[in-house]
Structure 1
């Protein structure tokens, strides 16, 4: 059976998708998910570090996207300490690390666009 976009439905984590592309885009699609994963690909980061590296994202959006990435198993959240101020770090899970090759391809493609067409 070919898993790519066909007529067969695919169920993953209780959600039914029409194809594997739809499933993948649900996990990493949108304006900020891939950007968050990009910033976590080399090292774990605290929320405040991610905010500094992504100044255009709102706090609410970053928080919601991190929660969704954690729910989908791409990002791990580790809490240090029991009383405030607690320290929270985010990192890629093994599943999240499996997306690094795609991130690198997206980055290379974006770099090509900038070199050929964009104004810097």
Structure 2
């Protein structure tokens, strides 16, 4: 059994699909693939993603150990950066395969 946001799934594929299928999640993970980034920088990189939505999705990704929020106190200010955890890094090849499959098998009307 897999629990994501208080929903219980029997199937691990369905549980992961629930995470990656949420709005902005795939874009957030993809944006963090090679870098550590601050919240404001991440929000600017995700044109159209509101602060509230980004906060909610980051919290969910942190809760599921996909993203790490590293906070450091420097001269009475807190510097916070987000980056992929080890399990988040392991998602990247899966996402690449999903992109390849989609490009070959889905019709995209532009």
TM over 0.5: yes
Q: Residue 100 in 1 paired to residue 92 in 2?
A: yes
Find the aligned partners of 1:90 and 1:68 in 2 and give their Cα distance: 13
- After TM superposition, the score normalised by the length of structure 1 is 0.74
- After TM superposition, the score normalised by the length of structure 2 is 0.80
Deviation digits for residues 24-46 of structure 1 (CA, Å, limit 9, x no counterpart): 12332212111100000011110
Deviation digits for residues 61-83 of structure 1 (CA, Å, limit 9, x no counterpart): 00110000000000000111167
Q: Contact between 2:69 and 2:83, CA under 8 Å: does it hold in 1?
A: yes
2:82 alignment counterpart: 90
Find the aligned partners of 1:107 and 1:44 in 2 and give their Cα distance: 23
2:47 alignment counterpart: 55
1:35 alignment counterpart: 27
Find the aligned partners of 1:40 and 1:92 in 2 and give their Cα distance: 6
Unpaired stretches in structure 1, ≥5 consecutive residues: 1-9
Find the aligned partners of 1:106 and 1:53 in 2 and give their Cα distance: 22
1:21 alignment counterpart: 13
Find the aligned partners of 2:81 and 2:3 in 1 and give their Cα distance: 27
Provide the alpha-carbon RMSD of the alignment: 2.5
